[in-house]
Amino acid sequence: MKYQAYSQISFKKTPYYLNMSETLRNEFDVLTKVLPFKINNYVAEHLINWENLPDDPIYQLIFPRKDMISAFDFKTLSGMIKDGASALEMDMVSNMVQQKIWPAVALDEDRIPKCNGDIIPGLYHTFPTNLYLFPAPAVKTCHAVCNYCFRWIHHTRGKFLPETSYSDPATPIAFLRDNPHIKDIFMTGADPLVMTTSQVKKFTDPLINVESLDVIRFITKSLTYWPFRFTTDKDADELLDYFRYLKTQGKHVAIMAHITHVNELQTDVVKEAIRRIQETGAVIRCQAPIVKNINDSAQDWTELWDTQVQLGMFPYHMFVEADTDPNGCFQIPLAKTVAVFQEARKKATSIARAVRGPTFMNNNMRVEILSIEEINNEKFFVLKCLQALDDKHEGKIRLYPFDPEITQIENLRSVFE
């Protein structure tokens, strides 16, 4: 299959759009004035059941949702489209609406490494052993765009790129040499596997000689959004050979596959892609957030984990959806998240029970919600700190007062002090 991406403009010429109901077409027209949209021919042809709109989970994952903007803004934009507002007027109002829903991304400036007082762009040092890398060609886009993703600011705002990515592949090396406790590199972006294989090599090669590095992780959704990246793309074989090469250099290669719903794992080509990656010795670990209307039932997760295990992959983390969306239309209450996780794990194959979750991170602390317990007639979330900036928090367990409605626990540092 030859890759064909559709933007909000080109998608409107496809039969998929033309066969959508008038209501859904109108929603699409209004919402894509404000929100990013990108889909490709594989996702459209093989992952979405167009007879099942709007409930289809992959449709829910990719298409902007009406409740992402206020009812007032939706009505205003809809009216302007009907009245034939000029492009200039439309842009003005769209920008205003976009500002209102700007994702609240909590970047901790202290986690951006510095050299002689200047930040080193494109590096993010979360926990002592982990360093995230943002190579410039990887931050611009993905093979399709998830509607809940806060990284759309990278995709849509060019001025954000220079500060948060790097173009010289040698950029992280001095910092890594000065910090030999860093063992895990997270190649990320948007999606590092939108890069060509020669770009992947260019940005990864300098890391090979850093002996303290044990693990190179690629955080990607390419496996299910464009599995041909690992099968028939012209540089697919070269990419797989490169994974083999990294192994010979003593590095563990981990494909951190972002897989949201079991429907992403049904096609022959995705199974072939998984098999080909596994043949290289790379290990595929699977993770995703739990998101309203996509994967918010126990059955969704049991099926997802069981299928991952059948295909030889490792269920790794169920994440609590981040609270970057000001209207909260993707988050579900933590109480329900815990119930879904526990129920799903009970029904899944025993091997899948090594999965961690529900986990979330803020203030540079990663926490797992172990359970909800009642003590002296009072209910609590039981939290375990999985990773933290300093040793004294890691492994600690704390109680947090139960609230059936909360979707996040803010300020974990104060909880664990």
Q: Which residues are near ligand SF4 by CB under 6 A?
A: 142, 145-146, 149, 151, 190-191, 221, 258
| Burial of 159 per CB tally in 10 Å (0-12, 13-18, 19+) | exposed
Q: How far is the CB of 59 from ligand SF4 (least distance, A)?
A: 15
| Burial of 250 per CB tally in 10 Å (0-12, 13-18, 19+) | exposed
Cα–Cα distances in angstroms (integers) from residue 8 to residues 36, 63, 78, 226, in the given order: 8, 10, 16, 19
Within 13 Å of residue 34, how many CA atoms lie on the same side as its CB?
Answer: 29
**Residue 145 vs 274, nearer CB to ligand SF4:** 145
**Residue 124 vs 381, nearer CB to ligand SF4:** 124
Q: How far is the CB of 155 from ligand SF4 (least distance, A)?
A: 8
The H or E element containing residue 3 is: none
**Residue 224 vs 280, nearer CB to ligand SF4:** 224
**Angle in degrees, 0-180, between the axes of helices 22-31 and 71-82, rounded to the nearest 10:** 100
**Residue 201 vs 221, nearer CB to ligand SF4:** 221
For residues 60 and 383, what is the distance between their CA atoms, to the nearest angstrom?
A: 30
Which neighbouring-strand residues pair with 184? Answer: 130, 215
Residue labelled with tokens 């009245």: 83
Radius of gyration of the chain, Cα coordinates, nearest whole angstrom = 22
Cα 386 to chain centroid, rounded:
20
**Residue 220 vs 280, nearer CB to ligand SF4:** 220
Q: How far is the CB of 330 from ligand SF4 (least distance, A)?
A: 11
Q: How far is the CB of 414 from ligand SF4 (least distance, A)?
A: 29
**Angle in degrees, 0-180, between the axes of helices 197-208 and 236-248, rounded to the nearest 10:** 10
Q: How far is the CB of 117 from ligand SF4 (least distance, A)?
A: 31
**Residue 291 vs 309, nearer CB to ligand SF4:** 291
Q: How far is the CB of 38 from ligand SF4 (least distance, A)?
A: 8
Q: How far is the CB of 35 from ligand SF4 (least distance, A)?
A: 12
Whether residue 104 contacts residue 324, with contact meaning beta carbons closer than 8 Å, is answered with: yes
Q: How far is the CB of 219 from ligand SF4 (least distance, A)?
A: 8
**Residue 192 vs 381, nearer CB to ligand SF4:** 192
**Residue 21 vs 327, nearer CB to ligand SF4:** 327
**Angle in degrees, 0-180, between the axes of helices 87-100 and 71-82, rounded to the nearest 10:** 170
